[in-house]
Amino acid sequence: MELTVSCFVSLLVYILTFLLGLPANLLVLFVYIRKARKHGATPNVVYALNLCVANLALVSWMPVKVAETLQGWSLPAAVCPIFSFFLFSSVYGSSLILTAVVVGRYLSIAYPITYKLYRRAHTSCLVSAFLWLLVLVHLGFAYIAEGGGHFVSLSEENISACYENFTEEQLEVLVPLRLEMALLLFLVPLVLSAFCTLRCLVLVRHSALPSVGKRRVLAIALSTLVVFVVCYLPYNVSHVVGFVLYTNVEWRSEAMLSCSCNVFLEPVVMLMLSVSRNPQTTRTQAASIISHGECKDDKAKANKADTSIKVTARHSWK
């Protein structure tokens, strides 16, 4: 098989994804399990573990993608839908969990008192379960609507491929379904993440936090949004273009490469979030947000909540 430029780039991305993603996610797994054992489970721990599961599921299939790039699909046809299931569930599951992280980050800054009173690891588990269910329902419906085939076909170069070519009947169902998934599982989370990030920037900029604290919060907020856009935008744009042209766009596989990068980029964000916050910073952040009108409670309630934060600061969201 002749190795084209496109195949070489794909091969490079898959290898880097495996070599960087595996140790990075194992490190995040170790850090957050250790944090949970030491301080108890928190929303951040729950979301980090969900991201690790999604990323490791994708990493485990990278050798298969490398082999497919070099010699075509050589595994049994029945393995193709299993591979596709892990691939797409990881992509959309990660994007939704990352959105939950961004929303939680915003709530902890905009409403530090209220959020600290109601945040629970149990609630985050329910949120994660709902997000995974949303993804699984879409993928299950897609598999049924596509006819339940194995989707292993031959390309123009007479090379077998998994989930690359579809019949006209399958595209009639698949194209609008892809658009719906792009809108519901990407565009809505993107708008929500962008709103929360911009609000974080405004709140932190006008707060009384020290410059170091401001830079740290801004770096985490912006890096999370950048990872979201860079990793998930190209692939979902291919869904929109495919709907407009009513076809399976040729560059869809190349757009999928950016989704693979989330495997080693998301752990960087989660490791940044894992850095312990100084309890005094927690109280200063809460007081600064209150003083700038983000919390409508009276002064007595603010003082009472501040006392509660002092007691529970060591179990902070991060």
pLDDT in tens, 232-281: 999 999 999 999 998 888 888 889 899 999 999 999 999 988 874 444 44
Tokens of 49: 């573990």
- What helix, strand, coil percent values describe the chain, rounded to 5? 80, 0, 20
Mean pLDDT of 82-97: 91
User: How many structural domains are present in the chain?
Assistant: 1
Contact 74, 160 (CB under 8 A): yes
How far apart (Å, rounded) are the C-alpha atoms in residues 294 and 1? 61
The answer, yes or no, to whether residue 312 has pLDDT greater than 50, is no
Q: Is residue 8 part of a domain?
A: no
Tokens representing 13 are: 């991305």
Q: Is the pTM of this model over 0.85?
A: no
**Domain membership flag for residue 245:** yes
Which residue range is the domain that position 307 belongs to? 15-311
Q: Is residue 201 part of a domain?
A: yes
Residue 317 belongs to some domain of the structure: no
pLDDT tier for residue 156 given thresholds of 50, 70 and 90: low
CA–CA gap between residue 94 and residue 232 (Å, rounded): 10
Q: Which two tokens stand for residue 288?
A: 């600064």
Q: Is 5 part of any domain?
A: no
Residue 191 makes CB contacts below 8 A (sequence gap 6+) with none
Q: Which of 160-169, 227-236, 307-316 has the weakest average pLDDT?
A: 307-316
> Has residue 116 been placed in a domain?
yes
Residue 318 lies in a domain: no
Distance between the two ends of the chain, CA-based, in angstroms?
Answer: 49
pLDDT value, residue 254: 87
pLDDT above 70: percentage of residues in the chain: 82
Q: CA separation (Å) from 103 to 48, 95, 229, 290? A: 14, 12, 16, 19
Q: Which span out of 25-29, 167-171, 247-251 was modeled with the highest average pLDDT? A: 25-29
Distance, CA of 98 to CA of 198 (rounded, Å)? 16
> How far apart are the C-alpha atoms of 110 and 106, rounded to whole Å?
6
Tell me what pLDDT residue 155 has.
62
What is the rounded CA–CA span in Å between residue 279 and residue 313? 5
The pLDDT, as a whole number, for residue 185 is 93
Q: Which residue has the tokens 């709140």?
A: 203
Is the confidence at residue 152, as pLDDT, over 50?
Answer: yes
Cβ partners under 8 Å of residue 284, min gap 6: 208, 209, 210, 213
pLDDT of 183 above 90: yes
Of 56-70, 150-164, 218-232, least confident by mean pLDDT is 150-164
pLDDT digits (tens, 9 = 90+) for 109-134: 888 888 888 788 999 999 999 999 99
The answer, yes or no, to whether residue 148 has pLDDT greater than 60, is: no
CATH code of the domain containing 198 = 1.20.1070.10
Classify residue 129: in a domain, yes or no. yes
